[in-house]
Amino acid sequence: MTGFPASLRTDVLRYSARLGRRIRQDPPEQLGVPSAQLAVLALRRGETAAAVGLAEYMLEEFKLLNDTVLNGWLAQLTEHLAGRLGLPPLLLRVPAAHVWDALYEVARAFQADAIAAIRAGDADNATLLLGHTRRVMKTINDETVRFIQDILTIIDDQFGEQAPVDAMRGPYESIWRERYHAWEDMSAAEKLQLSCEGMRSHFGGPDRDGTFLVRDEGDRYCMEFAACGTGGMLRYGDPETGEGPWPTTGVNRTPQPYTWGKTGVPWYCTHCSLYLEHWPAEDRGYPLRPVRYDDDPASPASTSWFIYKEPRYARDEDYRRIGRAKEG
């Protein structure tokens, strides 16, 4: 884990009445700092209770993402693929349902050992064990992302370029709509906290530890990923292990509003536009959380997300990217 300024706050894990659970409520610019890093920093400051809480939450935030997004999405896509190809469900049972839970138990065991080290005041071992926890969770994340990308590629190969989009519609309606049903009722800070919670658990960034930048740009917050731990990892590889980009033919060939007018976008990456911009704009009249897809090979960023402090502040460019005109 890379170093962070000692000025970072560690008293950030608090109960949210809106969500009915605890979530990190850091100053905005700190929300892209990994929870494991804050846990170690709290321990080195002698804040044992805060360190334990952050180490516990590190796995909590990943499990929330894994259960509601990664595994839920994967389960629906494997069921869709099996149905369209006439495959027996048993064929995909192990990778679709068992592998991820088995790996999660490994991560939980490392986490328990890390918490024991924290309680013992052993910062070096706690750092090592939290690193083991992260690497197992990162493996779950990365293998799920690759599996989703391959499923969408097969659907494209077998049924054509529109078929992956059709396959993603069901998960949008059952997972993403529900995940963001209370979006309008949230404050801008709550929207940012929820968004950052999910993206920390994809373990992006140059060290694959979940680091990303958060900037307050006045009317909006910008989350910038260099690179994100999902589509960015697929496109650019894993800088931690040295593994290269994921070999895939599963990319769009026809420019579409949900591919930001580009071609060569991996099918996995299109869900950011479909689920956060394109379909929400159909439902609500505005993009929920606009996305800038960066395909410049010279850029360190793979993508940026924008969270407007008021929906009406969304800029004309955010609508143009998805082929819509701003109303009013």
Return the ∠ at Cα 131 (arms to 128 and 137), rounded to 5°: 150
Judge whether 196 and 205 are in contact, CB under 8 Å: no
Residue 220 lies in a domain: yes
What pLDDT score was predicted for residue 97? 77
For 119, the enclosing helix (H) or strand (E) is helix 99-119
Judge whether 191 and 303 are in contact, CB under 8 Å: no
Judge whether 250 and 149 are in contact, CB under 8 Å: yes
What pLDDT score was predicted for residue 1? 45
DSSP one-letter code for 246:
P
Residue 200 lies in a domain: yes
**CA 262 to each of CA 223, 238, 253, 269: distance values in angstroms, whole numbers, following the listed order:** 21, 24, 9, 12
Residue 128 lies in a domain: yes
Number of structural domains the chain divides into:
1
Judge whether 203 and 229 are in contact, CB under 8 Å: yes
Length of the chain: 328
Judge whether 117 and 133 are in contact, CB under 8 Å: no
Residue 67 has phi, psi (to 5 degrees) of: -70, -45
Return the ∠ at Cα 6 (arms to 5 and 11), rounded to 5°: 115
Digit-coded pLDDT (tens) for 186-238: 999 999 999 999 999 999 999 999 999 999 999 999 999 999 999 999 999 99
Return the ∠ at Cα 27 (arms to 217 and 205), rounded to 5°: 75
Query: What predicted TM-score, i.e. pTM, was given to this entire model?
Result: 0.94
For residue 314, which of 277, 273, 274, 272 has the smallest C-alpha distance? 277
Residue 22 has phi, psi (to 5 degrees) of: -90, 150
What are the counts of helices (DSSP H) followed by strands (DSSP E) for the chain? 13, 6
Written as six digits, the tokens of 99 are 């592998």
Query: What are the per-10-residue average pLDDT scores of the chain (328 residues)?
Result: 73 96 97 97 97 98 90 90 90 83 95 98 98 97 95 97 97 90 93 97 96 97 97 96 97 96 97 95 92 90 95 90 83
Residue 4 lies in a domain: no
Residue 7 lies in a domain: no
What pLDDT score was predicted for residue 69? 83
Residue ranges making up the domain that contains 297: 24-320
For residue 33, which of 226, 196, 229 has the smallest C-alpha distance? 196
Residue 19 lies in a domain: no
Residue 36 lies in a domain: yes
Residue 310 lies in a domain: yes
Q: What is the largest CA-CA distance in the chain?
A: 60
Q: Beta strands of the chain (E only): which ranges?
A: 13-16, 21-24, 213-216, 220-225, 291-293, 303-308
What pLDDT score was predicted for residue 3? 56
